[in-house]
Structure 1
Amino acid sequence: MTTPSDTQSLILSRAATRPGNLALPLPEGLVGAAAKMVVGKMIARGWLEEVEANLRRREPMWRETGDGHGTTLIATEAGLEAIGIEPLAASAVASVRRAKPKAEPELVQTPDDSETVKPVAIRAGTKQAQIIAMLQRPEGASIAEIVAATSWQAHTARGAISGALGKKLGLVVTSSKEDGRGRVYRICQSD
């Protein structure tokens, strides 16, 4: 497998911290022909994907298509895996992008950056990535199973599901009561 260059790694790691794995804006100083060359290689390797930009969400555009629409760049699962982000965690974040939004998110305005959003990062081997993997299984996971896997208190596990997964990452987590297991949580897969 090809190893990303420093510039490519920077683009992918920044994309991993943005909602929907947006790869734009590119690093400062990477413009013009150099930007097209780097992005072209990343698309060819399957690390970036060009998708239609959601202008209502004020997503940055990579290029205009000429009919009032534009495209943006997102990091793919292969791209995130190339920099060491676990594929299951990457696919969970990618599924959020494919899901239909319930409401338009508001951007946080700061004086030096007009489109700053909260960073979102899922690192391989973390308890958060472990919980996401458990909730993506068809059988889901109960609080007792999450507590056993993470060594957390039950209230911490519930808080992680609600806060980190639901609010911070925007994942849709459902729960249902099952005989013998109690309340079982699952991440909704949208395909």
Structure 2
Amino acid sequence: MPKLTDTQTIILSAAAQRPDNIALPLPKGLHGAAAKKVVDIMIGRGWLEEVDANLQKGEPLWRETGDGHGTTLIATADGLEAIGIEPVVVRTMAAIRKHRDEPPAPKRPIPRAGTKQAMLIEMLQRPEGAAIAEIVEATGWQSHTARGAMSGALKKLGLVVTSAKVEERGRVYRIS
């Protein structure tokens, strides 16, 4: 086990008892240049890590990075091992923190069967594709509405519509 100062032991012990192993606030009386020196040494030894602070959750700030963002300090697996705490807990908390910070996957809308949009998708999925005139005839839409549906609504569904000029038919659209 590495040799820790009393201050380092207090910081790591307090972090081990806090949610997400946050090392802030530092002990009373430790501020300014002395706090920076202790923290820099602990970061250098891999006992603390500076991470983005979740301001919505009210995490304390170590330093501001600008634009309303800042960093906080967390005890690492090595830091908690230095005071005799099992690293499994640290790895679990790191996994939870990583998962929390990932944005949820956007839900893709699902087209309803029997709608004009479903008919448009079916026409565009055919090997020969569909020309605007064919889409207008089948759906009863005006040509600008058909083009808007292809560039807007189908894009939201994650479908990529391509077009190519065909001599006999004009511009033909397909879902690739």
Aligned equivalent of 2:11: 11
Alignment of 1:61-140 (within 5 A): 61-100=61-100
Aligned-partner SS, 2:73? strand
1:21–1:94: 8 Å Cα contact kept in structure 2? no
CA distance in 1, matches of 2:62, 2:68: 13
1:149-172 deviation digits (Å, cap 9, x = unpaired) = xxxxxxxxxxxxxxxxxxxxxxxx
Query: With structure 2 as the length reference, what TM-score do the two structures score?
Result: 0.55
CA distance in 1, matches of 2:29, 2:67: 29
1:67 deviation in Å?
A: 2.1
Alignment of 1:136-147 (within 5 A): none
CA distance in 2, matches of 1:73, 1:101: 16
Aligned-partner SS, 1:41? helix
Q: 1:81 to 1:65 in 2, by over 3 A?
A: same
Q: 1:70 to 1:101 in 2, by over 3 A?
A: closer
Aligned equivalent of 1:41: 41
- CA RMSD, aligned part only? 1.6
**Structure 1 spans left out of the alignment, 5+ residues:** 103-191
CA distance in 1, matches of 2:47, 2:97: 16
| Identity rate, percent | 65
Structure (1 or 2) with the greater helix fraction: 2
CA distance in 2, matches of 1:69, 1:11: 23
1:99 deviation in Å?
A: 1.8
CA distance in 2, matches of 1:67, 1:100: 22
1:68 deviation in Å?
A: 1.5
**Structure 2 spans left out of the alignment, 5+ residues:** 103-176
1:117-157 deviation digits (Å, cap 9, x = unpaired) = xxxxxxxxxxxxxxxxxxxxxxxxxxxxxxxxxxxxxxxxx
CA distance in 1, matches of 2:67, 2:101: 23
CA distance in 1, matches of 2:31, 2:96: 29
Aligned equivalent of 1:176: none
- 2:66 aligned with 1:51: no
